[in-house]
Amino acid sequence: MKQRWGVLVAVGVLVWGTIGGGTAQASAGDATGGCRAAGEIFATDNTAVITDPDDVRLRTRLTRFDHEVRRIIRAGGARAGESTLLDGVFWSAELKTTTYERSREFDVDKVGADGLHHIADVIRKQYHQESVLTFRCLPRTSPDTDAVEIQAPGVSAAGLREALLADPEARERLGGGSVTVGGRLILITPVSELPLARRLTAGLGIDWNTAKVRYGDEEFVS
């Protein structure tokens, strides 16, 4: 997993104040966060740098990886929920180009912050990853809340690539994002980067009023 990447996932009614001269509205969770799971883990077994969007390795469904990670989650004392296949598009400042990655998002229940960290660390070590991203759903007012997870439909990996290429600031600061095979963008970003995230979604042709947002704590376990 890259050190700063985005992902779009689901949730529920929030109004952020004035951002960039307009009122930004997005659907948000209730007082408990409105999430379908206590936490999420974003991971892959890929260790190669892939720059060709037609690379055959991007066609894998990571089925075996899915089963193996579920066993790791259960061994860690948590409950494995749904798993979602993702196409990631990331900007490499070193290569000056976009890179691609197939990954999965795993819903994890019956787990706290320490347990989620431990499970992610086991996955990181077993699959030789630089880092594994976790997102723990929390109320907006929680002192541990430092990030948001944004969801919007109707996005392709190719469209995300074009939006990143057209916005140098967004690609450098947000790093990239992921899209489900069904065309749902997923972006996890620090709360402080909300204006930039909104601009990136506008570049993707997304009506911000239709975006869904939930709050929580993100961690790159490395």
Range scoring the smallest mean pLDDT among 7-16, 28-37, 117-126, 181-190: 7-16
What is the longest distance spanned by two Cα atoms in the chain?
Answer: 49
Q: State the pTM of this model.
A: 0.85
- Sort 96 into a burial class: Cβ within 10 Å, 0-12 / 13-18 / 19+: exposed
Checking if the pLDDT of 29 tops 70, the result is no
Whole-number Å distance between alpha carbons of 50 and 43: 16
Q: Closest by alpha carbon to 217, among 150, 149, 129?
A: 149
CB 87 within 8 A of CB 179: yes
- Tokens of residue 144, six digits: 């541990």
CB 104 within 8 A of CB 65: yes
Q: What is the pLDDT of residue 21?
A: 32
Top pLDDT among 34 and 174 is at 174
pLDDT tens digits along 199-214: 999 999 999 888 888 9
Whole-number Å distance between alpha carbons of 186 and 133: 13
Q: What is the pLDDT of residue 218?
A: 97
- 3-class secondary structure, 134: strand
Element (H, E) at 115: helix 113-126
Checking if the pLDDT of 184 tops 80, the result is yes
Element (H, E) at 196: helix 194-203
Top pLDDT among 19 and 74 is at 74
**6 backbone φψ class: left, alpha, beta (φ>0; ψ -120 to 50):** beta
Task: Tell me how long the chain is.
Answer: 222
Helix, strand, coil shares, percent, the chain, to 5: 30, 35, 35
pLDDT tens digits along 56-91: 999 999 999 999 999 999 999 999 999 999 999 999
Q: What is the pLDDT of residue 67?
A: 98
- 3-class secondary structure, 32: coil
Please report which residue ranges of 11-84 form alpha helices under DSSP H.
63-75
